Chain A
Amino acid sequence: MNGAPDTSFTFTVNGESRTARCAPLARLLDVLREDLRLTGSKEGCGEGECGACTVLVDGVAVNSCLVPVCQVDGAAVATVEGPGLEAVREAFLAEGGAQCGICTPGMIVMTKAWMDECERAGRAPTAEGARKALAGNLCRCTGYGKIIASAVAAARGESR
């Protein structure tokens, strides 16, 4: 979809160095899913509204549908498949935080970003905090109660 000549971009994904040859304006989401075959990140809207495509770039949560690959050259990208997210994934399973699952990868990555932020700021993770942090992640199935519960359980290390 991008007509610009292909260029090589090298960055780490979940700790491993990866190189993709693609158009500079290709969306990070497409590069992850199609070039690197990491299909965990989902496309809900493609317009920054739903958060299903959320990944971390250098530790910061972003919508990968809005990030051109040229802007992550040399960066560290983390997706739902990555290490360090086991506890959050477990919490979503244990607390029933997923139904159809389309929003779930974004919810999990955003929860991780929120947990890291709580830790950095020395703030106790609360349901209200989780709700605010996950405000950019839409779910059409669950009604959010169990998602917030999953996030809080993950942050408090309570998942069974």
Chain B
Amino acid sequence: MSPAATVSSPRTLAGALDALVGATEATLILAGGTDLMVEFQTGRTRPGHVVDVWRVDELRGIRAEPAGLRIGALTTCTELRASALAQEHADILVIAADEVGAEQIQARATIGGNLGTASPAADLTPVLFALEAEVRLVSKAGARSLPVTEFLTGYRKTARRPEELIESILVPTRAPGERRGFRKVGTRRAQSISKVVVAVAVTALDGVIRTLRASAGSVAERTILLPSLERELAGKAPDAAALDRAARRAATADCAPIDDVRSTARYRREVLRRILRTLLAELLLDET
């Protein structure tokens, strides 16, 4: 690690924002460290100035607001799993949190860190995409909110400015009758980095689809939306064949998977198609 590494560990939000004044691209925010500590260890990232926010309790906690569920950036996967509020308002986020690594990882892996890493394989992020979540960023200069889909700008790139901290995430109130699904295909039950991960939120009336928002991870350089599904299916009362066509279309047109050490692009497209077909059938065909 670089000789210049300095670390501040503020205990309050105000202290954290002060520590971030004058921050540059080289300033690192450290939360649970399950991504960053690995990066330090492997030398992939060198700490220059680190702002360790793990003890900033104002960034924790889950609460219901008129607009939806407000989840503090430092909320861990373990806390999500244990939260009755999260279960009620963001059920698939809880399911996804349960699929992140093993218990030791879940105890430290935060929702803010999952977004902050901007890994295409992140498991919570596709859920936040499907649920149209917003991320709230704060700095000494003020606060702003933006859709998570705009927050992620590329491979390990976000719209966060160096002085900004992810403060919280808002999951909007569930639309009446909205149904949701989540699926992760990895290599092992725990600890696996996703090969393909999918989240879907759909509303239907009398079997006719009104809205359908789906997102996938590990099938492009960043987490993506799958717009073909809504285009193909909105306004229709689909049968199995129509779902199959839409899934095929999304797996062809919406994603751009790569070959890497974990899998091949072809395999990922095929897995995506199958997961979508199964998930959509579960969500749509048994209620008509």
Contact = CB atoms under 8 A, between A and B. Distances in A.
Interface of A: 1-5, 23-25, 27, 46-49, 51, 54, 60-63, 65-68, 70-71, 73, 110, 113, 132-133, 135-137
Given A1-B1, A61-B107, A66-B33, A71 B52 contact: yes
Interface string B1-38: 11111110100000000000000000000100110011
Interface residues of B, number: 32
Contacts of B54: 71
A66 B277 CA distance: 38
Of all A-B residue pairs in the complex, the 9 with the closest CB atoms, nearest first, are A136-B102, A135-B190, A3-B3, A24-B7, A4-B5, A66-B37, A63-B104, A71-B54, A3-B5
Given A4-B7, A63-B104, A71 B42 contact: no
Interface string B165-201: 0000000000000000000000001110000000000
Contacts of B52: 24, 68, 70-71
Interface in B98-125: 101-105, 107-108
A25 B7 contact: yes
B209 interface: no
B288 interface: no
B8 to A, nearest CB: 9
B7 A61 contact: no
B104 A61 contact: yes
A47 B55 CA distance: 22
A56 to B, nearest CB: 10
Given A24-B7, A61-B104, A71-B52, A135 B191 contact: yes
A130 B189 CA distance: 14
Contact of B101 (A61, A110, A136): A136
Contacts of B42: 47
B19 to A, nearest CB: 13
Nearest to A51: B104
In the complex, which of the residues A1, A25, A49 has the most CB atoms of chain B within 10 Å of its own CB atom? A25
A67 B54 CA distance: 11
B103 to A, nearest CB: 6
Nearest to A53: B104
Contact of B55 (A23, A49, A66, A71): A71
Contacts of B7: 4, 24-25, 68, 70
A3 B2 contact: yes
B33 A135 contact: no
Given A47-B41, A68-B33, A136-B190, A24 B104 contact: no
Given A46-B41, A51-B104, A4 B33 contact: no
B208 interface: no
Contacts of A23: 1, 5
B257 interface: no
B219 to A, nearest CB: 24
Contacts of B217: none
B33 A3 contact: no
A71 B104 CA distance: 15
Given A48-B38, A49-B191, A70-B7, A25 B108 contact: no
A27 to B, nearest CB: 7
B40 interface: yes
Nearest to A57: B107
Given A61-B103, A110-B104, A66 B5 contact: no
20 contacts: A2-B5, A4-B47, A24-B7, A24-B50, A25-B1, A25-B40, A27-B37, A46-B41, A47-B41, A48-B38, A51-B104, A63-B104, A65-B37, A66-B38, A67-B108, A68-B7, A68-B30, A68-B37, A73-B9, A133-B103
